[in-house]
Structure 1
Amino acid sequence: MRKITLYTTLLLGLLAVSSCSDFLVEEPQTQLTEEEVFGDEDNIRLLVSGLYTQWRNTKQDRGGFMFTLGTDEAKQGGQQVHENNVQAALDKYDGALNSTNSSLAEQWNKRWPVITAAAKAVKYASSNELKAQAAFIRATLNFELAMLWGPIPIVDQDNMQEARQPIADVFEFIIKDLELAVEHLPTTQTDKKIPTKGAAQALLGKVYMYAPEESGFRNYAKAVEYFDMAIPQYTLLNNYGDLFTTTLNQNSSESIYAFQFVNMWPDNNMAQHHAGSRAVADLDGNTYFGGYDLALPTEYYYKNKADGGIWEDGDARKAASIRYDFTLPDGRQPQITWTGQADELEPHTRKFEDIRTQGLQNFWYSGGLIYYLRLADILLCKAECMNELGQTADAVNLVNTTVRKRAFAGLPAEDYSWPTGMSQSDFRANIMDERMRELGFEGWRRMDLIRTGKLVEYVKERNKWAKASGTIASYHMRYPIPDSEIKQNEFINPEDQNEGYR
């Protein structure tokens, strides 16, 4: 976040992106008050339209994977680690993971202009639905920042608080935004980039579930209450792989909210560019599983249970989630011929592969949807909350009859069902693996590790680079506040830095 004095400039830039037409009045004026600019509902609509583009762009290009790195699910490819020491620190948790880390600072800085512009819309929009849309976007970004950085400023036009605020106040603010969204968003939207009431309900449930215990807002019963509002509005697809097939309509009955991308610039997501194999890319730039190895699955994510990983025999999600075969369409087998990072031909994620680029466009033009909320996630979240409420047998039944039933379609129930006599502690361990199988590379793993307190334990054993470095510590549960923020924001001082980074 920049100092408040810079917000107007950032906001005007955001509005300029949202439309080719001038958002100001036709009469030339050298100075307009904020009330005059935002007193026009058309300007507010332009502002909110721009918010969606800017929010979506936080998931575009390399930034879409930055928070996935350094988990037990994803790591950087070897060449990436050797080329970029600053970025490598996100996996290594070494001394370069500090307040001057530009990879993290970029992600911090991308979010605050969107939050600030959303605050303008919440204050000045006369339409409750537009207020609700802006509040939803502000809540998503505040939730993400608070989970990853801890206490953050609260950007509210009526009560601006530029210093880091207590985590309880931050989550109270997030919840109020989502309550507004639940109240005023409609149940359906023709324009899929706009959230629905169900999306707000699902996210509010996740906020009550994920909120740090010290905030006082973690409440599993309330989470279940909101999940139960959202769940009946959606249905699981029969085939898990259809979720990631770009030639099908990905805005399906299972999608609660997804970032809308297409395989044309500037609306391509570039995800395959960062998730594919560099060795394949060197052979054929138009091979849709080529790429540049930013984010690769850990061995724990791609191996079978018998080999120390997560995959069970018969789970259809395995083949839909991980690419094990790099045979090119013409039958060629790629070979490592350059400096030699063997992980280039180890398994890669395939969720972002876009077959529409095959032989026509570089993989940089991948453009499938990027899911933010989908039904399977919410069902697993509900089951986890039920387990925490002492309803373990019912939680097991929910997982067995929904997410796992689809994953093992065609197999007898006894072959894939968890035992109803599973203990609460065993359920906690099993649900974390189940979430990785179902939601790998979809952006929730770091938050899952943080909220369960498992980040250090799991990452130091399952992430290749973190294990080799041996420096991950408890303070890495939060990222460092960027040094640029401390220097530019007079309300955040060096002593306000997160513990371990001072």
Structure 2
Amino acid sequence: MKKIYYLSILLGALLFSSCEDFLTEEPKTQLTEEEVYGDEENIELLISGLYTQWRTTRSDRRALYMYTMGTDEGKQGGQQIRENNFQAALDKYNGALNASNSVLAEQWNLRWPIVSAAAKAAKYATSERLKAEASFIRGVVNYELAMYWGPIPIIDLDDMRESRQPLTDVFEFIIRDIEYAANNLPTTQEDKKLPTKAAAQALLGKIYMSAPESTGLRDFEKAKDYFDMLIPNYSLLSNYGELFNTTTNQNSSEIIYAFQFTNVWPDNNMVQHHAGSRAVADLDANTYFGGYDLCMPTDYYAENVSDGGIWEPGDTRKNASIRYDFTLPDGREPQITWTGQADELGPHTRKFEDIRTQGVQNFWYSGGLIYFLRLSDILLSKAECLNELGQTSAAVELVNTTVRARAFGGTLPPEHAWSTGMSQDQFRTQIMDERMRELGFEGWRRIDLIRTGKLVSLVKERNPWAKEEGMISEFHNLYPIPESEIKQNELINEEDQNPGY
């Protein structure tokens, strides 16, 4: 027990120090780094802690910042947009979206200790399995950093490059990490928080789809090949809504990787706490669809096609994904708490609701899984690859017979079937709407918009705060490097800042 206690202290020091400090300072805890990394059992404990830290980037109170907010899919509530200028800037894309933005700095700083510790684990682990797990962690976090901030340092103990590196080098390094994981991870994991070979294969496919074209690494054929390796091993649930039913086993046949939670502290997730309705929160603190309006669906995501949105009649995903009715089970009707902010009772995502908390616990204790990779995403991604490879009719057939068929109860009505004669450009437009219908608020929208070059045009049109402000520009495809990093890292200077900031 003493060994684990001292190791936990060291892990805390490692994970909450800066990237540069982690690599240069002598440890000030009972166990030295040499003792930790010279013991395979300690490395395994370290890697377990890294998965928990990675999970935090998806589950804490600001998890929706990086993935959904400020897109054409998610927006801040009216009161939230007025309370914090730095936070509001993520939707408004105004002058407060700058290097001193503390919200973005926090997200940057959450990730680098994970990358740094994973680099050491990948270096010193002796088993291929642990090296593969560390490589997976480093690769996936680097992928997010590169997609959101562009050129980043490469933390490799055999070839340290702490200045911003060319994107070609960065993505080659990411691919090398995830390829190693795909070759050495097991096909199944008893502990569901650990990734499998299929998770690495799925991620490789998505990386090859989204690597910037300037790197020369975008490759839809390779992406499709990786998707084909895993698709036969998974199957769609027949009922879309069951994906978000917290009373059943959410690690279903469709799930390739999910962040694991229970509705018991400290393994609860906080996403519902900020994605739900404030009006309901004030009415009953144990209402499982309560929250604080931090991130809500845009009108485009919430409304029917006939009203300018995406939902077609009969699509079962609509009411499984979005809550429109906030009447409590006992019949009580919530009231607006902030005068003038009627969106408190507007549509909210319901994917993070946990009915187990109703009348028992605060909605902060939501314990539903947060999905990272699931089969429907991979099927839509493969269809996108087929379209880019000139096989549009095959792409349409794949979407019609799998994801869309399930969405309409198992049989796709002829009037809702996509035409196999549509053009490649038509498919590009329709697949983006289909990905929103299927994957809304699951963490892929910003990357989808960046990789397809649609961030500015679609956010300007569909995000109300960005539209009102009128300032979003092409340079907003990347976030600014935080001012704190520029001040602390001698190898990243103001002239290294992303253009536009």
Do these two structures clear the TM 0.5 threshold for a shared fold by scoring above it? yes
SS of the equivalent of 2:251 reads coil
Looking at structure 2, the residues matched to 261 and 78 of structure 1 have their Cα atoms a distance apart, in angstroms, of 30
Shift of 1:47: 1.0
Q: Quickly say closer, same or farther: Cα 1:102–1:412, change in 2 above 3 A.
A: closer
- Per the alignment, residue 58 of structure 1 pairs with 57
Q: Quickly say closer, same or farther: Cα 1:10–1:294, change in 2 above 3 A.
A: farther
Contact 2:238/2:410 (8 A) holds in 1: no
Contact 1:298/1:464 (8 A) holds in 2: yes
Q: Over residues 206-247 of structure 1, what are the superposed CA-to-partner deviations in whole Å (9 max), with x where a residue is unaligned?
A: 000011101111000000010000111111111101111111
Looking at structure 2, the residues matched to 411 and 166 of structure 1 have their Cα atoms a distance apart, in angstroms, of 48
- Per the alignment, residue 459 of structure 2 pairs with 459
Matches within 5 A, 1:354-433: 354-409=354-409, 411-433=411-433
Q: Quickly say closer, same or farther: Cα 1:35–1:478, change in 2 above 3 A.
A: same
Q: Quickly say closer, same or farther: Cα 1:412–1:449, change in 2 above 3 A.
A: closer
Looking at structure 2, the residues matched to 73 and 147 of structure 1 have their Cα atoms a distance apart, in angstroms, of 18
Contact 1:300/1:462 (8 A) holds in 2: yes
Looking at structure 2, the residues matched to 352 and 412 of structure 1 have their Cα atoms a distance apart, in angstroms, of 27
Gapped runs of 5+ residues in structure 2? 1-16
Residue 211 (structure 2) pairs with residue 211 (structure 1):
yes
Matches within 5 A, 1:133-144: 133-144=133-144
Residue 93 (structure 2) pairs with residue 93 (structure 1):
yes
Q: Quickly say closer, same or farther: Cα 1:59–1:109, change in 2 above 3 A.
A: same
The amino acid of 2:49's aligned partner reads G
Shift of 1:49: 1.1
- Per the alignment, residue 259 of structure 1 pairs with 259
Shift of 1:496: 0.2
Looking at structure 1, the residues matched to 343 and 133 of structure 2 have their Cα atoms a distance apart, in angstroms, of 42
Contact 1:182/1:200 (8 A) holds in 2: yes
Looking at structure 2, the residues matched to 79 and 257 of structure 1 have their Cα atoms a distance apart, in angstroms, of 34
SS of the equivalent of 1:106 reads helix
- Per the alignment, residue 27 of structure 1 pairs with none
Q: Over residues 327-382 of structure 1, what are the superposed CA-to-partner deviations in whole Å (9 max), with x where a residue is unaligned?
A: 11111111214333011111111000100100011111111100010000000000
Matches within 5 A, 1:19-168: 24=31, 32=32, 34-67=33-66, 68-168=68-168
Looking at structure 2, the residues matched to 337 and 248 of structure 1 have their Cα atoms a distance apart, in angstroms, of 34
| RMSD over aligned Cα atoms | 1.5
Shift of 1:412: 4.9
Gapped runs of 5+ residues in structure 1? 14-21, 25-31
Q: Over residues 105-164 of structure 1, what are the superposed CA-to-partner deviations in whole Å (9 max), with x where a residue is unaligned?
A: 000000000000100110000000000001001111000010010000001111111000
Looking at structure 2, the residues matched to 337 and 214 of structure 1 have their Cα atoms a distance apart, in angstroms, of 49
Q: Quickly say closer, same or farther: Cα 1:496–1:98, change in 2 above 3 A.
A: same
The amino acid of 1:69's aligned partner reads M
Q: Quickly say closer, same or farther: Cα 1:46–1:288, change in 2 above 3 A.
A: same
Looking at structure 2, the residues matched to 9 and 368 of structure 1 have their Cα atoms a distance apart, in angstroms, of 39
- Per the alignment, residue 496 of structure 2 pairs with 496
Number of residue-to-residue matches in the alignment: 484
- Per the alignment, residue 284 of structure 2 pairs with 284
- Per the alignment, residue 312 of structure 1 pairs with 312
Q: Quickly say closer, same or farther: Cα 1:429–1:111, change in 2 above 3 A.
A: same
Looking at structure 2, the residues matched to 317 and 412 of structure 1 have their Cα atoms a distance apart, in angstroms, of 13
Q: Over residues 420-459 of structure 1, what are the superposed CA-to-partner deviations in whole Å (9 max), with x where a residue is unaligned?
A: 1011000000000000000000000000000111000000
Q: Quickly say closer, same or farther: Cα 1:409–1:308, change in 2 above 3 A.
A: same
Looking at structure 1, the residues matched to 28 and 144 of structure 2 have their Cα atoms a distance apart, in angstroms, of 24
Looking at structure 1, the residues matched to 286 and 26 of structure 2 have their Cα atoms a distance apart, in angstroms, of 37
The amino acid of 2:21's aligned partner reads T
- Per the alignment, residue 469 of structure 2 pairs with 469
Looking at structure 2, the residues matched to 457 and 383 of structure 1 have their Cα atoms a distance apart, in angstroms, of 23
Which ranges of 4 or more aligned residues in structure 1 deviate by more than 6 Å? 8-13
Contact 2:19/2:113 (8 A) holds in 1: no
Moved more, 4-13 or 198-207: 4-13
The amino acid of 2:210's aligned partner reads Y
Moved more, 394-403 or 413-422: 413-422
Q: Quickly say closer, same or farther: Cα 1:37–1:459, change in 2 above 3 A.
A: same
Moved more, 330-339 or 306-315: 330-339
TM-score, scaled to structure 1: 0.94
SS of the equivalent of 1:59 reads helix
The amino acid of 1:40's aligned partner reads D
Q: Quickly say closer, same or farther: Cα 1:450–1:12, change in 2 above 3 A.
A: farther
The amino acid of 1:324's aligned partner reads Y
Identity %: 71
Shift of 1:384: 0.2
The amino acid of 2:40's aligned partner reads E
Residue 362 (structure 2) pairs with residue 346 (structure 1):
no
Contact 1:262/1:268 (8 A) holds in 2: yes
Contact 2:257/2:374 (8 A) holds in 1: yes
The amino acid of 1:99's aligned partner reads A
Contact 2:192/2:260 (8 A) holds in 1: yes
Looking at structure 2, the residues matched to 263 and 10 of structure 1 have their Cα atoms a distance apart, in angstroms, of 38
SS of the equivalent of 2:267 reads coil
Q: Over residues 244-291 of structure 1, what are the superposed CA-to-partner deviations in whole Å (9 max), with x where a residue is unaligned?
A: 111110111100000111111111111111111101111111111111
The amino acid of 1:42's aligned partner reads E
Matches within 5 A, 1:189-228: 189-228=189-228
SS of the equivalent of 2:372 reads strand
- Per the alignment, residue 249 of structure 1 pairs with 249
SS of the equivalent of 1:242 reads helix
Looking at structure 1, the residues matched to 492 and 353 of structure 2 have their Cα atoms a distance apart, in angstroms, of 42
Contact 1:405/1:416 (8 A) holds in 2: no
Q: Quickly say closer, same or farther: Cα 1:11–1:335, change in 2 above 3 A.
A: farther
SS of the equivalent of 1:58 reads helix
- Per the alignment, residue 20 of structure 2 pairs with 4
Contact 2:73/2:441 (8 A) holds in 1: yes
- Per the alignment, residue 17 of structure 1 pairs with none
Q: Quickly say closer, same or farther: Cα 1:245–1:259, change in 2 above 3 A.
A: same
SS of the equivalent of 2:61 reads helix
